[in-house]
């Protein structure tokens, strides 16, 4: 649900942001287009009025009210026919005011005016600007004006004069403001509709994913149960074959787990060691009961048959195709010796998988700790003494050292196992701890 909320809030913010930017862009474009059209009209109108009433001669010297004033007034009357005309000034080609309604300015020269300079170089310069309060009073209550510098030509291609005109544009700006609101409303409405549509699609898709995930979890649970059931059946089958080794597989798995933890084995390998330890004697299913349940010591021939159980076990589990090659190799090699005198492959030292070296120690510990038809169970002290002797020959010294470090914990496990039949619980815990 958090993911959904995250998607909805972020996508809403994105949509609002883009709607805002789009609204700004549209109104900006609108304003620019209006300025262009407005300026074109005014330029044409002003030039037409000037050419109709004035000549190059009129712009040769500053005009005061007393001299040649009438022709300017006629031209300005035409120019003021465009609504909201405010004022006009004329400059000669040197930037000097030739005519202005502010008589005191006539004859002044403006050299620091950038817009005027551009116009003197032949460019029409126009912009909308906001008037300051002081100007506002003077300019008959307008808030916004169009200010344009218009180059004037008389016959040749050189700029002969420049007209500076002001028109009020409040009505225009009100239209732009109304248009901007309309654009924002339309854009927001469209984006919200798109957002709702997207949200619905997202909700449907995420509901489907959640349902599929639940189905998958149910299937996994069913598979898990099947897997655990299979392991339990196999372990029980081995236990049932040999009365004297009842519970042996589970105890070996528990001891192997303690050893693996003590040796800081990674999670994946530790899980495989647990599973391999549980199934290490599964090959005994293929050994004749006469040999398996023989009360006395085995003859050399019988012993040769007994020695086949690691390979039989590995072969059975290979058929299952669900267990990893590493895990199966641990089962195959659990009777290898560190000095290379073990079976079935005579591997030595690091050639033997670590899991198999661990299981070998755990297997021997539990076997010595259990009573057999031909001998009593050994004490922990006797067993540790035997491991000391066999370290580096039968067993990996590193694993034996780990065993000495956790001997007390192992005894607790064996004691607990003797009190309870924990096969099922242990298998379940083993599986879950690896998840």
Q: Which is nearer to Fe ion, 159 or 362 (CB)?
A: 362
- Cβ proximity to Fe ion, 281 vs 336, nearer residue: 281
CB under 5 A: which stretch of 56-64, 112-120, 202-210, 281-289 binds Fe ion?
Answer: 281-289
What strands, in cross-sheet order, belong to the sheet with 144-152? 97-100, 85-92, 161-168, 144-152, 125-130
Of 125 and 364, which CB lies nearer to Fe ion in the complex structure? Answer: 364
The three-class DSSP label of residue 345 is coil
Whether the bond into 85 is cis, omega within 30 of 0: no
Residue nearest to Fe ion (CB): 281
- Taking residues 208 to 237 in sequence order and writing x for each that binds Fe ion by CB under 5 A, - otherwise, the string is ------------------------------
164 or 366: whose CB is closer to Fe ion? Answer: 366
The residue range among 154-162, 278-286, 299-307, 393-401 that interacts with Fe ion, by the rule CB under 5 A, is 278-286
Q: Which stretch binds Fe ion (CB under 5 A): 156-164, 279-287, 319-327, 373-381?
A: 279-287
Element (H, E) at 125: strand 125-130
User: Closest CB to Fe ion among 272 and 281?
Assistant: 281
Number of H helices, E strands in the chain: 16, 5
Closest distance of CB 333 from Fe ion, Å: 11
Among 58, 164, 272, 281, binds Fe ion (CB under 5 A): 281
Nearest approach, Cβ of residue 343 and Fe ion (Å): 10
Residue labelled with tokens 């609504």: 83
Gyration radius of the chain over CA positions: 50
**Least separation in angstroms between CB 280 and Fe ion:** 6
**What phi and psi, each to the nearest 5 degrees, are found at residue 421?**
-90, 95
- Using the rule CB under 5 A, is 239 a contact of Fe ion? no
96/332 with CB nearer Fe ion: 332
Interface with Fe ion: number of residues (CB under 5 A)? 1
Give the binding range for Fe ion (CB under 5 A) out of 14-22, 91-99, 155-163, 273-281: 273-281
Q: How far is the CB of 206 from Fe ion (least distance, A)?
A: 51
Contacts (CB under 5 A) with Fe ion, residues 99-128? none
Minimal distance, residue 278 CB to Fe ion, in Å: 12
Name the segment binding Fe ion (CB under 5 A); options: 110-118, 200-208, 222-230, 274-282.
274-282
Looking at residue 350, the DSSP 8-state letter turns out to be G
Cβ neighbours of residue 53 closer than 8 Å, sequence gap 6 or more = 71, 72, 74, 75, 78
In the block, residue with structure tokens 């064996």: 414
Convert 25-48 to b/e letters by CB count within 10 Å (16 or more is b). Answer: ebbeeebeebbeebbeebbebbbe
Distances in Å between the Cα of 355 and the Cα atoms of 194, 324, 393 are 59, 13, 17
Buried b (16+ CB within 10 A) or exposed e, 411-424: eebbeebeeeebbe
CB 272 within 8 A of CB 330: yes
By three-state DSSP, how is residue 119 classified? helix
Question: What's the closest the beta carbon of residue 220 comes to Fe ion, in angstroms?
Answer: 32
Chain residues binding Fe ion by CB under 5 A are: 281
């Amino acid at each position: 649900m958090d993911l959904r909320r995250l998607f909805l809030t972020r996508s809403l913010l994105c949509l609002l942001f883009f709607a805002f930017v789009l609204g700004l862009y549209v109104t900006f474009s609108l304003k620019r287009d209006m300025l262009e059209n407005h300026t074109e009209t005014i330029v044409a109108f002003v030039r037409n009025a000037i050419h109709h009433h004035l000549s190059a001669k009129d712009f040769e010297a500053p005009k005061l009210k007393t001299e040649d004033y009438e022709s300017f007034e006629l031209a300005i009357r035409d120019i003021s026919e465009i609504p909201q005309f405010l004022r006009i000034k004329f400059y000669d080609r040197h930037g000097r005011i030739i005519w202005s309604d502010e008589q005191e300015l006539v004859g002044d020269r403006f050299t620091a005016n950038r817009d005027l300079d551009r116009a003197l170089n032949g460019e029409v310069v126009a912009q909308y600007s906001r008037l300051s309060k002081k100007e506002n009073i003077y300019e008959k209550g307008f808030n916004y004006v169009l200010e344009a510098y218009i180059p004037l030509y008389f016959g040749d291609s050189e700029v002969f004069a420049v007209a500076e005109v002001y028109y009020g544009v409040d009505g225009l700006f009100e239209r732009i403001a109304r248009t901007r609101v309309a654009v924002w409303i339309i854009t927001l409405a469209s984006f919200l509709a798109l957002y709702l549509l997207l949200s619905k699609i997202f909700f449907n898709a995420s509901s489907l994913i959640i349902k599929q995930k639940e189905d998958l979890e149910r299937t996994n649970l069913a598979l898990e149960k099947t897997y655990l059931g299979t392991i339990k059946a196999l372990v029980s089958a081995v236990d049932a074959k040999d009365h004297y080794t009842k519970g042996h597989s589970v105890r070996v798995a528990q001891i192997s787990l303690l050893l693996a933890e003590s040796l800081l084995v990674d999670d994946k390998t530790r899980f495989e060691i647990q599973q391999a330890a549980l199934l290490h004697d599964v090959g005994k299913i293929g050994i004749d009961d006469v040999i398996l349940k023989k009360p006395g010591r085995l003859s050399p021939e019988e012993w040769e048959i007994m020695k086949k159980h690691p390979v039989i076990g590995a072969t059975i589990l290979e058929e299952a195709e669900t267990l990893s090659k590493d895990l199966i190799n641990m089962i195959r090699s659990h009777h290898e010796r560190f000095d290379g005198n073990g079976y079935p492959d005579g591997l030595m030292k690091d050639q033997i998988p670590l899991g198999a070296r661990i299981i070998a120690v755990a297997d021997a510990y539990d076997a010595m700790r259990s009573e057999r038809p031909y001998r009593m169970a050994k004490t922990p002290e006797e067993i540790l003494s035997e491991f000391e002797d066999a370290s580096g020959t039968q067993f990996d010294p590193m694993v034996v050292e780990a065993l000495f470090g956790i001997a007390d914990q192992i005894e607790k496990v064996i004691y607990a196992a003797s009190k309870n039949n924990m096969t099922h619980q242990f298998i379940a815990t083993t599986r879950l701890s690896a998840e």
